[in-house]
Amino acid sequence: MNPASIMKIMNAKNKFTENHPKFMAFLHAVFAKGVEEGTIIELKVTKPDQETMTTNIKVRQSDLELLQELRELVR
């Protein structure tokens, strides 16, 4: 990955953190306690017209490896 792309991603991450500090604090708290294989992660989205969609995943070892790679990328 070239340095310009990394800077673009870092700027987007910083803006996201600025816009959503509680969400980022939540993620830090979750990951500080550790996410292990078998953990269920649920995501719920409610659109302005009140349509709600929910899904979840059961974390696998390959997911943990991906999360670790992403964490190292944004440091």
29 backbone dihedrals φ, ψ, rounded to 5°: -65, -45
Alpha-carbon span 35 to 5, nearest angstrom: 28
Residue 36 gets which letter from DSSP? -
Work out the pLDDT band at 1, boundaries 50, 70, 90.
Answer: low
> pLDDT value at position 14?
92
Q: How far apart are CA 68 and CA 46, in angstroms?
A: 29
User: What six digits make up the tokens of 69?
Assistant: 């790679």
Tell me the pLDDT tens digit for each residue of 17-72. 999 999 989 988 988 888 899 999 999 999 998 899 999 999 999 999 998 888 78
For the cut 70, the answer to whether the pLDDT of residue 75 exceeds it is no
Q: Which two tokens stand for residue 21?
A: 């500090």
- Residue 5, pLDDT > 90, answer no
Find the DSSP H helices in 2-60.
3-19, 21-33
Query: Could you give the CA distance from residue 44 to residue 4 in angstroms, rounded to a whole number?
Result: 33
Task: Break the chain into its structural domains and give their ranges.
Answer: 1-34, 36-75
Binned at pLDDT 50, 70 and 90, residue 10 comes out as confident
